[in-house]
Chain A
Amino acid sequence: MDFLGGINPAVLIASLMVAAVPIMLAAIGELVVEKAGVLNLGVEGMMIMGAVVGFATAVETGSPFLGFAGGAVGAAALSLIFAFLTQVLLANQVATGLALTLFGLGLSSLIGQGYVGIKPPLTGKVPFGPLADIPVAGRILFSHDPVVYLSIAAIAAVWAVLKFSRLGLILRAVGENHDAAHALGYKVMRIRVLAIMFGGAMAGLGGAYISLIRVPQWTDGITAGAGWIALAIVVFASWKPWRVLIGAYLFGGITVLQLNLQAAGARIPVEYLSMSPYLITILVLVIMSADKNRAALNAPAALGRNFHASR
């Protein structure tokens, strides 16, 4: 079963599932935010806050579970700044999102100073017992840490809530036409603030996954653009939850493949391999947006527009 110079496909699939988790979590959170009509470009900043707070919490308490919880809370707290500025003070969403990223990058390296070079507590794998020993399928399906399964469950949950529940309907109404939703008596601001906090918590989980499991250690700028790729994946998915999963796995696959090629000593220079995920993300964005009808139809109509109830 060997190809590509000794890369085992089962291992490849299993590791791409791990590589995809951070952007999948962040992207599904951002999808909910954008469905509510808010464009939060601060995903990168929230992810790195989640990474540093999660790491610090896990190191201090010795519990990776508390680490993930801390990462989610830390990033959600940061997203509250965005929520306050855009929803209460009606600031420009693009600029505020950028500010969130710049601030998050600075604050995270400030918090993380004492944590450089430390190993975080190990996150165990979900014990599936004999299932994990099944050849190929066991490696792919039953050999992961809990967060991998959580990320897939999150996609399913967001899909179900948006499609089948009343809450999902209200959320989409707010994102499509906030004036109509306001006229119907829904609290536009409150719903959006909650959506932003959900997005922050998910981005924080994704960030914590990078620093606690994927890398696992703390260095400045550890997210390396994952937040921006998550934003691109929401566009790629045309705001549909299951396509986020596909997009994240596609991206995870490219990341793992280029890392494996680097390790295998491929003849392409390392720098060109490591830029490939970004280039392919751009390519995918172009393909998605080139289809005029589809891209325009699926974007929430009120995306990026601020709501001010004049009466």
Chain B
Amino acid sequence: MLVLEKRPSPSRFWQAATPVLAVVLTMIAGGMMFAILGKNPFEAIRTIFWDPLFGEFAWYFRGQLLVKAGPLVLIAVGLSLGFRAGIWNIGAEGQYIMGAIFGAAVGLAFYPADAWFIFPLMIVAGGFGGWLWAMIPAILRTKFRTNEILVSLLLVYVAQSILSSMALGAMRNPEGGGFPGSRNLSQYPSAANLEIIPGSGMHWGVVAAFIAVIAAYVLLQRHMLGFQIRLAGQAPRAARFAGVNPDKLVVLCMGISGGLAGLAGMFEVAGPAGQLSIDFASGYGFTAIIVAFLGRLNPIGILLAGLLMALTYVGGDNASTNLGLPSASIQAFQGMLLFFLLAVDLLSNYRIRLLTGRKI
């Protein structure tokens, strides 16, 4: 009989090995899913994971990789801080939308002026928008003990309503011939989030993501706040005795994750997306949750996980154009990845023992 035996402390080997194992298992299960859909599983997996990196059109796909990974990493790094401390900000999608709205609003307000300070101001506004949206669940939790999971998530739907109201109303392009959607910010030089090296996909959002990874790493390893976050997650009682103020931690973690999600939204609206439209929200805020867990809530891990998840997006697009693989199957594939990750996580916290012989 198999029994589980709790390890005194999580296994370091398995902590590093489980994400890899989960990816392999997901590829196997995903291959089976593709086979059920009537596609050749090996070809599908190769189209998703190999061709974008080393195939014929890799020069195009590699750039796309950073474009997709940027917002994912930026949001996931913020979320991971809260998740470590047991603060569940599930509404990053809403904060991402609000960041985009605030950022775009500033850009559009200055149109068609030409000045160096517009883009930096948009960055500030975007971060502020996301921060503001995350402060709602944070303050409700600290003042009224309202569950932040539900509030942050319900606010996503509210943000989506605001987005469509903006795209159809206040921020609609006056020269757009009545079509919904704002002016195209990527064609407005003072507000555009352009690629720093053309063709590389490296825009300012990607730079921000790298900075966030480094800052989060330093914060967690070297700063008192990082220590408090880790302590609050691993031993809430001990944290209280050590003088950690849980309310302060909630406000800080929610604020950082909201601000970063807002930045991601702002960089997206000024760059790859270009304009505020009804279908601007593409689910990065939710996928970033998977990225945070896949990266084991570790900044460096999140960077790698973000690149991998971006690969599934890019490869998924590739597979849907070349193999006719439904784009929804990539979403299911990403969900599956999180399942396997949570399942194999057992190995790092427990030892599996084969119980033979007599019962004690």
Interface string of A260-273 (1 = CB under 8 A from B): 00000000010110
Q: Which of B242-292 contact A (CB under 8 A)?
A: 286-287, 289-290
Q: A96 touching B342 by the CB < 8 A rule? A: yes
Given A85-B343, A89-B343, A98 contacting B150 (CB threshold 8 A): no
B346-A89 in contact (CB<8A):
yes
Interface string of B347-360 (1 = CB under 8 A from A): 00110000000000
Main secondary structure of the interface of B (DSSP, over half): helix
Contact of A95 among B146, B287, B293 (CB under 8 A): B293
Smallest CB separation, A304 vs chain B (Å): 11
Interface residue? B6 (CB, 8 A): yes
Determine whether A61 belongs to the interface, using a CB cutoff of 8 Å to chain B. no
Q: Is there contact, CB below 8 Å, between B329 and A110?
A: yes
Say yes or no: is B151 at the interface (Cβ < 8 Å to chain A).
yes
Cβ A308 vs Cβ B342 within 8 A = no
Number of A-B residue pairs at CB separation under 8 A: 134
> Is the beta-carbon distance between A95 and B338 smaller than 8 angstroms?
yes
Q: A279-B158, A286-B146 are in contact. Are A102 and B153 (CB under 8 A)?
A: no
Interface assignment of B147: CB less than 8 Å from any CB of chain A = yes
Q: Do residues A90 and B328 form an inter-chain contact, with CB atoms below 8 A?
A: no
Q: How far is the CB of B24 from chain A (nearest CB, A)?
A: 17
Nearest CB of chain A from residue B152's CB, rounded to whole Å = 10
B151: chain A residues at CB < 8 Å are: 282, 285
Contact (Cβ within 8 A) B350 A90: yes
Q: Does A152 sit within 8 A of B, measured CB to CB? A: no
With both chains docked as a complex, state the minimum distance between the C-beta of A282 and any C-beta of chain B, in angstroms. 5
Which residues from 197 to 224 on chain A have a C-beta closer than 8 Å to any C-beta of chain B? Answer: 220, 224
The answer to the question of B174 belonging to the interface, with a C-beta cut-off of 8 Å to chain A, is no
Min CB gap B148→A, angstroms: 10
Whether B16 sits at the interface, judged by CB under 8 Å, is: no
Q: Which residues of A contact B330 (CB under 8 A)?
A: 106
CB-contacts of B319-338 with A (<8 A): 326, 328-336, 338
Query: Is B207 interfacial (CB-CB < 8 Å)?
Result: no
Q: Does A290 reach chain B (CB closer than 8 Å)?
A: yes
Asked if B145 and A295 make an inter-chain contact with CB atoms under 8 angstroms apart, the answer reads yes
Given A106-B333, A106-B334, A225-B157, A113 and B326 contact (CB-CB distance below 8 Å): yes
Residue in contact with A89 in the complex, picked from B90, B335, B338, B342, CB distance below 8 Å: B342
Interface residues on B, range: 35 or more
A158 in the interface, Cβ–Cβ < 8 Å? no
Residues on B with C-beta less than 8 A from A41 are 149
Contacts of B147 in A (CB 8 A): 235, 285, 289
> A238: shortest Cβ distance to chain B, in Å?
13
What is the number of residues of chain A that contact chain B, defined by CB distance less than 8 Å? 47
**Interface membership of B345, Cβ < 8 A:** yes
Majority SS at the chain A contact face: helix
Flag if A94 contacts B149 (CB, 8 Å).
yes
Does the CB pair B343–A229 fall under 8 Å?
no
B150 engages A235 (CB within 8 Å): yes
A275, B145: Cα distance in complex, Å: 23
Q: Say yes or no: is B15 at the interface (Cβ < 8 Å to chain A).
A: no
Q: In the assembled complex, which residues on chain A have CB atoms less than 8 Å from the CB atom of B4?
A: 90, 308
Q: A90-B350, A91-B343, A286-B146 are in contact. Are A106 and B6 (CB under 8 A)?
A: no
Measured CA separation A275–B156 after assembly (Å): 10
Interface positions of B (Cβ within 8 A of A): 4, 6, 37, 88, 90, 140, 144-147, 149-151, 153-158, 161-162, 164-165, 168-169, 286-287, 289-290, 293, 326, 328-336, 338-339, 342-343, 345-346, 349-350
Identify 6 new A-B residue pairs, CB closer than 8 A, beyond the known A109-B331, A275-B162.
A89-B346, A91-B342, A106-B329, A228-B150, A285-B151, A295-B145
Query: Could you list 11 A-B pairs, sorted by A, with CB under 8 Å?
Result: A81-B339, A89-B345, A91-B346, A95-B342, A102-B335, A220-B328, A228-B150, A232-B154, A279-B158, A282-B146, A289-B146
